[in-house]
Amino acid sequence: MKIRLALAGLLLMGSLTACSRVPGVYAYEKDGTVRAGAAAPFDPRTYVDGIWASKVLPTVQQNAVDVTTVAAAIEKDPAAAGRQYGKRTGTGSPFAYLVKGTGTVTEVDTDAPTGPLTVEIPGAKPLKISIATGPVIAGTAIRDGVGFIKFGDFTNQIDYQNVANQLNNRVKTDVIAKVPVKDLKGKKVTFAGAFSALAPGSILVVPTDLTAS
């Protein structure tokens, strides 16, 4: 009987050891590390690094519509404007728009968390919009506006949201940090970027390109 029990124990240990080598099964070492074969955690920074210059910036540049055109379409018929110029992640979500323009900075608000620049766009009916300069850059306008970043490509909602956050971080480091924001009042700026239609008549652009002259 003792011999049979010992053999059974050895067989059970062998079975567990074999299972730990089956692809997709996690095997943990004593120090808590995961052996080769375990899926690596999603890294939003690495993901965004891989698409920022190669896909995000070209998509905005190629598809951005003059902000005065988009604003006029939204004022006339928000739903029709969304269908024609916008993108959204699902029914009931706000439309996100890719826009571009040139105008004069009439106000620099460094007290508000989003640090909005008020920019007046010339035309038959001058348009005033805002451009976010931080330190707080929030929302999902860029992620949603480019159109090729889909929820179904990610494991969960957290990863999907973290991509939006990391895109906003790239705006701060790669776009806004290169512009003397506090000195822009009275200057002409050219911009491209995205905004979400969150409130009627309000346009707050998250820039992927911002230059002053």
First to last CA, the chain: 91
pLDDT of residue 15: 44
Cα–Cα distances in angstroms (integers) from residue 156 to residues 26, 91, 173, 209, in the given order: 20, 19, 26, 30
CATH 2.40.50.420, the chain: domain bounds:
44-212
The rounded distance, in Å, linking the Cα atoms of 102 and 122 is 8
pLDDT per residue as tens digits for the range 111-121:
999 999 999 99
Class of domain 44-212: mainly beta
**For the chain, percent of residues with pLDDT exceeding 70:** 82
Pair 70, 82: CB distance under 8 Å: no
The rounded distance, in Å, linking the Cα atoms of 202 and 69 is 14
Please compute the mean of the pLDDT values over residues 19-42 and round it to a whole number. Answer: 51
Pair 186, 104: CB distance under 8 Å: yes
Nearest-CA neighbor of 210 among 145, 140, 129? 129
Pair 136, 114: CB distance under 8 Å: yes
* Cut 0.95: pTM above it: no
pLDDT of residue 23: 40
Pairing of strands 204-212, 127-131: parallel
**CB contact burial 45-71 (16+ within 10 A = b; e otherwise):** eebbeebbeeebbebbeebbbebbebb
Cα–Cα distances in angstroms (integers) from residue 131 to residues 38, 91, 92, 104, 182, in the given order: 43, 27, 25, 12, 13
Cα–Cα distances in angstroms (integers) from residue 38 to residues 10, 20, 25, in the given order: 26, 11, 7
Q: Which residues partner with 210 through β-bridges?
A: 191
pLDDT of residue 148: 97
Given pLDDT bands bounded at 50, 70 and 90, which one contains residue 191? very high
pLDDT per residue as tens digits for the range 126-154:
999 999 999 999 999 999 999 999 999 99
